[in-house]
Chains A and B, each alone.
Chain A
Amino acid sequence: MKKLMLATAAAALAAGGAMADVKVGMITTLSGGGASLGIDTRDGFMLAMEDANRDDVEVVIEDDQRKPDIAVQLADKMIQSEKVDVLTGIVWSNLAMAVVPAATAQGLFYLSTNAAPAQLAGKGCNSNYFSVSYQNDNLHEGAGAYATQAGFKNTFILAPNYPAGIDSLTGFKRFYEGELAGEVYTKLGQTDYAAEIAQIRASGADSVFFFLPGGMGISFLKQYADSGVDLPVVGPAFSFDQGILQAVGEAAVGVKNSSTWSKDLDNEANAAFVAAFQQKYDRLPSIYAAQGYDTANLLLSAIDKADVNDDAAFAAALKEADFASVRGEFSFAANNHPIQNVYVREVIKEGDVFTNKIVGTALEDHANAYVDACKM
């Protein structure tokens, strides 16, 4: 892909065209455990870029291997030798924290396709930093709001013991009004949840909320389904993503999860995106692909309005969010994080494929809890 883009750029140069006006550096995870997330981010982003078919934008893509030190090296390389104007693509919050503040301090724009930690939304906000995905707490807040709407009175909540896990349970509790039957922090990367499931069984809970991204969620759901505990389960979309659901199988069917996007979301941009993605890559898109696609379209809309070298004008152009988001109505709050709906999805089986459908709205036009803390 990188070669392809470089080749296009070289061809443009050879044809006597000018150098690309805007150079975008994408740092994302393309190998190792979390590769499926980065690959979807890249594929969604590049789908929008190729649809636009423009020769004034060039994209360089590098693999951060999910390692903060590698991400920092790549960012330095892209800033200093590739001279990129915009960085994007990082999946993980710890990598974003290592790269984003340094990049924006050097006058670059950073558009987040996924990671959006609280630090960058509140005190650490920056006029050159935009989160196109969400603020990290949003989906957990949506799950809390749904638990309240569903009338749960005694929820058992669990998440891994690391910053995003603690933020998750805090976000859930911000919108959940019932009692807690238990609050458990598991080890990061834990693969066996027998002990926690036994605690859930003994706790007298009426429902379970969990945030266990990636393989952790697969393990939990399979083991939960086999345990004979049949309390309703709620979680954020991360554990019910298109790539993950096929590995969980029947165990996930019927589970409710909160998400800002779903493939059946009824708007024109989304229908076109889902069809084009399937046609090009022969699989269903995930939320990461949707966020990558939106990020590219937002960037293109701003390039049409302003010069990327004029920081204030370009930031203003981005903030207008003048693009057709696959998530429907979309705008930016004062701290450059989205105002959008958080939906409730249910896992269903469509033919042989496990996927999600929207069954309700947990939060409407929801921003985030850090807007007031951001002094831009």
Chain B
Amino acid sequence: MSTILIIEQVLNGLQSGVMLFLMAAGLTLIFGVMGLINLAHGSLYMVGAFAAAAVAGVTGSFVLALVAALAAAALAGAVIEVAVIRRLYDSDHLDQVLATFALILIFSEGTRWVFGSFPLFLDIPDALSGPVTLPGGIQYPLYRLALIGVGLLVAFGLWLLIERTRIGIQIRAGENDREMIAALGVDISKLYTLVFALGAALAGLAGALVGAIQSVQVGMGEPVLILAFVVIVIGGIGSIKGAFIGALLVGLTDTLVGIFLPEVLKLFMDAAPATSAGSSIASMSIYILMSLVLIWRPSGLFGARA
């Protein structure tokens, strides 16, 4: 187990963490501001990836593909907010879960109608393909470094938006007391649509960025959605800062435990059962992490409400 391998794995953990953050940020904003559990967030991730793959297939431009992903996901988000979600703000969480679960099915089968059952092709741009050599002789894919960079930039941009702009003030106020800001003359329904579209756009961006190194296929959003829920539970529901820290924790735990636990187990037992048992326990690791955090802080690391 060399230092190089460890550093490479930490980078991998960071990269998966910042991409998770893009998903979790939208989810936590929507839950924090509107009190809505949006299971269809993973579908918006898929919409972003499919829009990117379709546009990249026609134009060959990755930048245009990203723009399309952002636009398509934001538009899809705004449309479902106005058409469906708006009716659910006063319902209880079970109704929201049911309705947004229905949206997952509609999006999945709708996407299959439009694009067919076969996975789509989306490649990373030539300028970012291949590995680069980092100091210390670490070979690391340039595209994954770029993902870390983009993720951190978006996190910084979101922080600016929430902490430094008028809209940010309204969003924070909406989290605390939605009746009051409505009474103060803020158009709350427009604000909700905006927040929902923003969250959707972030999910779409993540889908397009990750879709380039994975498989663009129907149902690709749901596994990420589960992780994103774990992230916001760990970070504290409604907290962007919590989502960021939580995403990095989940990304690093998931990657590092998955790699190192089987190696540690091999010190005590035979190789074959060690790898099999190690990977089984590793797939539980983030849920164990979540339980530990919840025992220590029942409302999550940065959660305001209990």
Contacts and interface: CB of A to CB of B under 8 A. Distances in A.
Contacts of A226: 124, 129-131, 141, 143, 213
Interface in A107-151: none
Given A195-B12, A199-B259, A226-B129, A31 B214 contact: no
Interface stretch (A17-25, A52-60, A185-193, A268-276): A185-193
Contacts of B216: 247
A366 B32 CA distance: 60
Nearest to A35: B117
Given A228-B139, A228-B141, A191 B130 contact: no
B168 interface: no
A39 B213 CA distance: 26
A41 to B, nearest CB: 12
Given A31-B109, A198-B12, A215-B215, A185 B275 contact: yes
26 contacts: A31-B109, A32-B108, A32-B218, A33-B218, A36-B117, A36-B119, A161-B276, A183-B272, A184-B262, A189-B223, A191-B210, A191-B220, A198-B9, A198-B12, A198-B259, A201-B139, A202-B4, A216-B215, A218-B119, A223-B213, A226-B143, A227-B139, A228-B141, A244-B118, A247-B118, A247-B121
Given A36-B118, A161-B276, A247-B121, A219 B215 contact: yes
Nearest to A30: B117
A246 interface: yes
B187 interface: no
Contacts of B259: 195, 198-199
Nearest to B128: A226
A225 to B, nearest CB: 9
B214 A192 contact: yes
A249 B56 CA distance: 14
Interface in B240-285: 255, 258-259, 262, 271-272, 275-276, 279-280, 282-283
A232 interface: no
Nearest to A191: B214
Given A161-B276, A184-B262, A249-B121, A33 B219 contact: yes
Interface residues of A, number: 39
A357 interface: no
Given A36-B117, A226-B131, A246-B121, A185 B215 contact: no
Contact of B2 (A202, A218, A247): A202
B5 A31 contact: no
B12 A194 contact: yes
A191 B112 contact: no
A174 interface: no
Contacts of A192: 12, 16, 213-214
A215 B117 contact: no
A185 B273 CA distance: 10
B279 A161 contact: yes
Contacts of B175: none
Contact of A184 (B129, B220, B223, B279): B279
Interface in A172-217: 183-187, 189, 191-192, 194-195, 198-199, 201-202, 214-216
Interface string B209-250: 010111111111001000000000000000000000000000
Nearest to B219: A33
B41 interface: no
Nearest to A218: B215
Contacts of A199: 5, 259
A191 B49 CA distance: 14
B294 interface: no
A154 to B, nearest CB: 15
Given A166-B276, A183-B271, A189-B223, A247 B120 contact: yes
B280 A218 contact: no
A90 to B, nearest CB: 17
Nearest to A215: B215
Contacts of B4: 202
A33 B104 CA distance: 13
A32 to B, nearest CB: 6
A349 interface: no
Contacts of A254: none
B96 interface: no
Nearest to B122: A247
B8 interface: yes
A153 interface: no
B112 A35 contact: yes
B38 interface: no
A191 B5 contact: no
Contacts of B131: 226-228
A174 to B, nearest CB: 14
Given A201-B8, A246-B118, A248-B121, 12 more contacts: A31-B109, A184-B275, A191-B215, A214-B217, A215-B217, A215-B220, A219-B214, A222-B213, A223-B141, A226-B129, A228-B131, A228-B139
A101 interface: no
A247 B119 contact: yes
Nearest to A217: B215
Contacts of B193: none
Nearest to A228: B131
Contacts of B123: 222, 249-250
A17 B304 CA distance: 75
Contacts of A194: 12, 15-16, 141, 144, 255
Contacts of B275: 183-185
A68 interface: no
Contacts of A36: 117-119
A30 to B, nearest CB: 8
B183 to A, nearest CB: 46
A194 B276 CA distance: 19
B255 A161 contact: no
Nearest to A244: B119
Interface in B5-45: 5, 8-9, 12, 15-16
A335 B4 CA distance: 50
A215 B215 CA distance: 5
A215 B15 contact: no
A170 to B, nearest CB: 9
